Amino acid sequence: MAGSEKMKLFAEKSSWIRKMFEEGAKLKAQYGTDNVFDFSLGNPDAPPPQQYNEVIREIVMDESPGMHAYMPNGGYPWVREIISARMSAEQQIEVNQGDMLMTCGAAGGLNVVMKSLLNPGDEIILLAPYFVEYNFYVDNHGGVSRVVATDSEFNLDLEAIEAAINGKTKAIIINSPNNPTGQIYSTEALNSLGRLLTKAASDHNSAIYMISDEPYRKIIFDNHTVPSIFKSYKNSIVVSSYSKDLSLPGERIGYLAVHPEIEDKLNLVNSLTLANRILGFVNAPALMQRVVAELQDVSVDNTIYSKRKKIFCAVLEEAGFTFTPPKGAFYVFPKTPIADDVKFCEFLQEENILAVPGTGFGSPGHIRLAFCVPDSVISRSAEGFKKAINKALTI
């Protein structure tokens, strides 16, 4: 066959979201878009802030020489200076422009980190449920994923994490607010994780990193807050993007920052910068670097997602689902009424409802529902959810 066997296998493993997308296209063609309730894609639909439109118009019209030229591989120093100032307040530790790089989205940033940290066979701990592509990012750079489940409410299970650490452990990836659960890890839990990693690194005489994937940091509900990773652990790296808080997923603009006191910082930052180049990113998009530099105190109207969360939780509760209400992001991850989450998604499809099986996120027995859709789509799906549960319970 054309292509590698590995990529064929990966395509099969990562097919759930794409499969739901394809099923949705068929249903919409058959029944009409307004009669299909598609909760499969985490594609932010809140409009970018008005300030974004104003800034990008101004920057696009700038005809100064060099506007589209190469810059340092880590990004414009003046842009990093602006972002590091905002991160200093966010992380409650002074971050300098030399501690960070601009990246091609958070996905690009995570691959840069993996390239810089991993030797063949090194292990990365993933916390289930997890964003499905983490597995592939780890494999891209010769690493091995070791999956550890969170607890019943998707909080950190510190005993399970400790049991998974060994001499090959290089890092743990945390994602808070979490995709697919909307959980936010508490300050106390992160501090405990930091102490656990410090002890484990000493026991194994090898640095263990905490990598925090934070694209949903500003999408939070009910006065919850996202704690500082840097305050909890010295050997930590934050990766984020503007895909969600500015609704710019297609523009592929993000950043990463290392803790100012991280071990061997100079060599690590140099490695990250080189990885940014040789992975083929070269540098983050010049235009979007200039744009986001002007929008550090701006984000989408979060009340849009907050309202939808309340509507969806009411729909699910009335239908009889068991779930942990999300504290952030724009997903809810209810338990399925039968153990076979894939089969339950088939019952939902019979009601023109599209969900992604929890199996795809390493947590079978659940479904992921994305509420970055119009309010009316959520409300009109209510009867379909009830019918699907009734079908499932009568088999």
Say yes or no: 202 and 307 in one domain.
no
pLDDT tens, 246-290?
999 999 999 999 999 999 999 999 999 999 999 999 999 999 999
List, in sequence order, the alpha helices (H) in the chain: 5-13, 15-31, 50-60, 77-91, 105-117, 134-140, 158-164, 187-204, 265-278, 286-293, 303-319, 341-350, 375-380, 382-393
**Cα-trace Rg, the chain:** 21
**CA pair distance 132, 130, nearest whole angstrom:** 6
Say yes or no: 258 and 207 in one domain.
yes
| Bigger pLDDT: 23 vs 316 | 316
Say yes or no: 233 and 309 in one domain.
no
Say yes or no: 112 and 223 in one domain.
yes
pLDDT tens, 225-238?
999 999 999 999 99
Say yes or no: 67 and 41 in one domain.
no
Q: Containing domain of residue 387, as a range?
A: 5-48+301-393
User: Among 271, 293, 315, which residue terminates a domain?
Assistant: 293
| The pLDDT value given to residue 18 | 67
User: Among 250, 267, 293, which residue terminates a domain?
Assistant: 293
Say yes or no: 232 and 370 in one domain.
no
| Number of domains making up the chain | 2
Kindly give the interhelix angle for 15-31 and 341-350, rounded to the nearest 10 degrees.
10
Say yes or no: 223 and 334 in one domain.
no
User: Among 293, 315, 330, which residue terminates a domain?
Assistant: 293
Q: What is the mean pLDDT of residues 343-366?
A: 96
Say yes or no: 276 and 262 in one domain.
yes
Q: What is the mean pLDDT of residues 216-231?
A: 97
Output the domain CATH number for residue 37: 3.90.1150.10
Would the pLDDT of 1 be above 70? no
| The pLDDT value given to residue 232 | 98
pTM beyond 0.85: yes
Say yes or no: 246 and 140 in one domain.
yes
pLDDT tens, 119-153?
999 999 999 999 989 999 999 999 999 999 999 99
Q: What is the mean pLDDT of residues 356-364?
A: 95
Strand partners, 12: none
pLDDT tens, 50-79?
999 999 999 999 999 999 999 999 999 999
Say yes or no: 33 and 87 in one domain.
no
Cβ(184)–Cβ(178) below 8 Å: yes
pLDDT tens, 12-35?
666 666 677 677 778 777 877 788
| The pLDDT value given to residue 27 | 79
Amino acid at 287: L
Output the domain CATH number for residue 154: 3.40.640.10
Say yes or no: 165 and 311 in one domain.
no
CB atoms within 10 A of CB 60: 12
Say yes or no: 180 and 103 in one domain.
yes
